[in-house]
Amino acid sequence: MTRLSKFTIMAMCMIGAPLQAHEFWIEAEDYTAASGTTVSATFRNGQELSGAVLSYIPARSARFDMVVGQEVVPVSSRIGNNPAFQVAGLPDGLLTVIQETTAQTLVYSEWEKWVKFTEHKDFTFAQQAHIDRGLPQEGFKESYLRYAKALIAVGDGAGSDARRGLRAEIVAGANPYTDDLSGGLPVQVFFDDAPKANAQVEMFAKAPNGEVEVTLHRTDADGRVTLPVVAGHEYLLDSVTVLPVEPALEGDPVWQTHWAALTFAVPQ
């Protein structure tokens, strides 16, 4: 039997807690890691690029991979590891770290919480759709899944982002560590193997002094949008898709949300 410290047990409780309304992201200790150093990254859940650090819990993870060059490699991590990602001996290039969670559930005890959430994440249609389905306005459940990616430069950081097989995914159209971003960073949002048109992208930008600015952007018909980025800042991009779910049993979730996240930094 594996013995866990009290801190690991606390982390397990936190990752299973109803933190759905907050963002989930992968945060690198250093987004521009020097050649030959150990690359570390943590799982985080919170708001405005500040929140709880979560340990690696296999039962909460559907996929934990890294992309080195063009090769997708499963990340070897043990229960309770924090940082969740800590790998040495990586070659120079653009490293992608991927974490897809298993489905978790959240209970909405108040209708106003659903209203606030759907307005924030830009699917207010779900309010009337909920009523039209004859669903209760209190005590209903939502299931949610997270699809997080982090782009980290190792050494020269050369390479490019691409689609990595996630159901909900944000793909960078330029390398934030090597390309000219004076005209902005182009990204494309995907869901179910198709570009997601007219999708809201929420961008969290953390300045060197720790201040965070939050802005909203919208994709075009091809799921593309160019985001204004600034050197010396860290970024989290977030885009959420909601789907109705027909419950098989009483008490099952009636909505499911899919959260795509992309983190990176723009060097000075």
pLDDT per position as a tens digit, 82-99: 999 999 999 999 999 999
Integer Cα distance of 26 and 24 in angstroms:
7
Least confident stretch, 4-8, 181-185, 239-243: 4-8
How far apart, in Å, do the first and last CA atoms of the chain sit?
48
pLDDT > 50? residue 1: no
> Which pLDDT value is given to residue 21?
52
What confidence score (pLDDT) does residue 9 get? 35
| Residue 99 CB partners (closer than 8 Å, separation 6+) | 26, 43, 61, 63, 64, 84, 146, 148
Pick the more confident residue, 2 or 243.
Answer: 243
* Confidence tier at 196 by pLDDT (50, 70, 90): very high
Dihedral in degrees, nearest 10, Cα atoms 171, 177, 182, 185: 10
Is the pLDDT score of 162 beyond 70? yes
Taking the complete model, does pTM exceed 0.85, yes or no?
Answer: yes
The pLDDT > 90 percentage for the chain reads 91
Query: Is residue 152 pLDDT above 80, yes or no?
Result: yes
- Cα dihedral value 252, 254, 257, 258, nearest 10: 60
Give the whole-angstrom CA distance, residue 49 versus residue 212: 7
Per domain, the residue ranges of the chain are 6-265
So what's the pLDDT on residue 22? 85
Task: Determine what percent of the chain is predicted with pLDDT higher than 70.
Answer: 92
Helix (H) / strand (E) containing 16: helix 6-16
Confidence of residue 107 (pLDDT cuts 50, 70, 90): very high
Rounded to whole angstroms, the Cα distance separating 185 from 198 reads 18
* H-type alpha helices, 92-196: 111-120, 125-132
Query: In this predicted structure, what is the pLDDT of residue 14?
Result: 41
Residue 150 pLDDT more than 50? Answer: yes
Cis amide linkage into residue 83, ω under 30° from 0? yes
Mean of pLDDT values over 252-267: 98
The residue-averaged pLDDT of 239-251 equals: 97
Residue 59 backbone dihedrals phi, psi, to 5 degrees: -65, -20
State yes or no: pLDDT of 15 exceeds 70.
Answer: no
Distance CA 47, CA 186 (A): 24
Strand bridging mode 85-87 / 140-154: unpaired
Quick check: 241 and 196 in contact, CB under 8 A?
Answer: yes
Confidence check: pLDDT of 239 > 90: yes
Within 160-244, strands assigned E span: 168-172, 185-191, 194-195, 200-206, 212-218, 224-227, 234-244
H-run or E-run covering 106: strand 104-108
